Amino acid sequence: MRASSQRQNYEASRITLKGDLCVYCGDIATTVEHFPPVSVTNLGFKLPCCRECNALAIDENPRDFERRIECVKSRIRRKHWKWLQIPEWSHEDLTDLSPMMRREVINGLNKKARTIKRLEFVSLAYIAVIDTDDQFQMFFDRSDAA
């Protein structure tokens, strides 16, 4: 089979769910996640994903999407642990700092807030919104019955 024919067959065997947000963390989607991974099967989905989560997902939990979500979020938590450790600062405390130090602390607090937002993102609820034909759910209902 020619490469272009293989590519067409592959593309036809993947259902694309379109969305602007990463299915794992809610950041802007900049790439596509293949679930289950291509290394496992050509059947499945192409899901919107950010580059970081796509790299963190690798081939972990190739058939269990809920466990895959947990794995990606655990890796986000480990990768960005230092931002999560930043203590909260009062407005008064911030104004006592030099402008340069204040900027650094605010930058860290923003990174902490972003990391928390990513960890709290409800992936399955977002998939339910972008999966207008319930294809994702039906795919796993069939898999569970087998």
Instruction: Please provide the size of the chain in residues.
Output: 146
Question: What burial class does residue 122 get, using C-beta atoms within 10 Å of its C-beta: 0-12 exposed, 13-18 middle, 19+ buried?
Answer: exposed
| pLDDT at residue 138 in the model | 81
| pLDDT at residue 2 in the model | 53
- pLDDT of 2-15, one tens digit each? 555 544 455 568 99
DSSP state of 63: S
Q: Using 50 as the pLDDT threshold, list the residues of the chain that sit under it.
A: 1, 6-8
| pLDDT at residue 7 in the model | 47
| pLDDT at residue 111 in the model | 96
pTM: 0.84
Question: Which residue, 13, 14, 18, 9, is CA-closest to 34?
Answer: 14
